[in-house]
Structure 1
Amino acid sequence: MGPDLLARFITETTTAPFISANLDFSAEPTLAALAEQGRIAPSVVVERRPLLLAGAATVLLGLLLTASAYLLLLRRQRRQQLTI
């Protein structure tokens, strides 16, 4: 499931926001656009009550993601290590 397929899933299945915690979509233009539009959000208010989604990354993240998403995470991690 690549980023374009995920974006299509989000736009075609519902008008409600897709809740996703602690993920950076800036490297994926289609997902970044959805995040800017509020279609992807870190939290929502349900019936005037805040709803918080807590997310965590694990060492097994690579097993849970597609190869392209995993490579993006590795590239970002390497860039962060170079700037430290």
Structure 2
Amino acid sequence: MRIDIVTIFPEYVEPLRHALLGKALEQGILSVGVHDLRDWAQDAHKSVDDTPCGGGPGMVMKPTVWGPALDDIALG
């Protein structure tokens, strides 16, 4: 089984390799791909979020980053 994790904090996933996930990896039951979403960001600041259209509090993730990321990951 393959699991792909897309995150802006890939270093946070590393400790999971020392838990049950690590045992599954060692036994070849599972493979995990960890992808930094910022690799697909197109601006100088590697932004993956923006203010909501129409204003309001919070931030939303940019589909212009997620789309290419998911396409590339799905292709392998």
TM-score range, shorter chain: under 0.3
Greater C-alpha radius of gyration: 2
Calculate the TM-score normalised by the size of structure 1: 0.24
Between structures 1 and 2, the one with greater strand share: 2
